[in-house]
Amino acid sequence: SYELTQPPSVSVAPGQTARISCGGNSIRKNTVHWYQQKPGQAPVLVVHDDRDRPSGIPERFSGSNSGNTATLTISRVEAGDEADYYCQVWDTRSDHYVFGTGTKVTVL
Amino acid sequence: QITLKESGPTLVKPTQTLTLTCAFSGFSLPTSRVAVAWIRQPPGKALEWLALIYWDDDKRYNPSLSSRLSITKDSSGNQVVLTMTNMDPVDSATYYCAHRGGIYSDPFDYWGQGTLVTVSS
């Protein structure tokens, strides 16, 4: 089955840039979505279709997808960005949905 | 405005069958050509996709759990039900239902608040 691997944690100082990777075999062939989840809350979509932002999501959130790695980038990190982040794809070969292992972003 | 809300028991015993209902508004499953999914999250762990039902009643299941899962929609088109048999303490989790758009690769763009299910004798 298709697997998505993320680093368990990323730490970043306020105002700096956080980059969260999502590794998967030839992930560039899949469309990647990213979700933010704060404690006790449901996940919220922050980037879809590799690099697009839903309405209401700040421009500080951006995405890319190339080779075997997709990346969520958070620019000018704020304290409110502290959360768990998950990547997700629809695996075309199996017709199943897959979530990444999740990354906890800590703002120092 | 699309909203979803999960309901069901908060406590089930091992070996029992869990039945969860997702009631939604803002779209109708048969007419909107979209899909509804169930996703769970054990405490402190990652999200795990469980099942999905399409507007045309086609269904997909997580292969690791497929023998225990069933997803159905009611005739009104505004509720989706998930059943999971032979519950075990490792199935303790928050269970979410989510809306997926009209394309297979679309994201889960709307989520319910989730319902916490504990499996314990």
Q: Lowest mean pLDDT: which of A88-97, B15-24, B111-120? A: A88-97
| pLDDT computed for residue B33 by the predictor | 81
Per-residue pLDDT at B62: 96
Shortest CA gap B95–chain A (Å): 10
Whether B47 sits inside 8 A of A35 (CB atoms) is: yes
Q: What is the pLDDT of residues B19-51, one digit of tens each?
A: 999 999 998 887 778 999 999 999 999 999 999
| Neighboring chain A residues of B37 at a CB cutoff of 8 Å | 97
- Say if residue A69's pLDDT is above 80: yes
Q: If you count residue pairs, one on A and one on B, with CB atoms under 8 Å apart, how many are there?
A: 59
Is pLDDT at A89 greater than 90 in this prediction? Answer: yes
Produce one character per residue of B22-41: b if its CB has 16 or more CB atoms within 10 Å, e if not: bbbeebebeeeebbbbbbbb
Q: Which residue of B has its CA nearest to A31?
A: B105
For residue A36, what pLDDT is reported? 98
Query: How far apart (Å, rounded) are the C-alpha atoms in residues B89 and A86?
Result: 24
In B39-78, the residues whose Cβ lies within 8 Å of chain A are: 39, 46-49, 52, 60, 62-64
Mutate to test the interface with B, among A97, A99, A101, A104 (most CBs of B within 10 A): A97
B60-113 pLDDT, tens digit per residue, is 999 999 999 999 998 777 999 999 999 999 999 999 999 998 888 899 999 999
- Tell me if B96 and A31 make a contact (CB, 8 A cut-off): no
User: Which pLDDT score is estimated for B75?
Assistant: 79
Question: Does A99 contact B109 at a Cβ distance shorter than 8 Å?
Answer: no
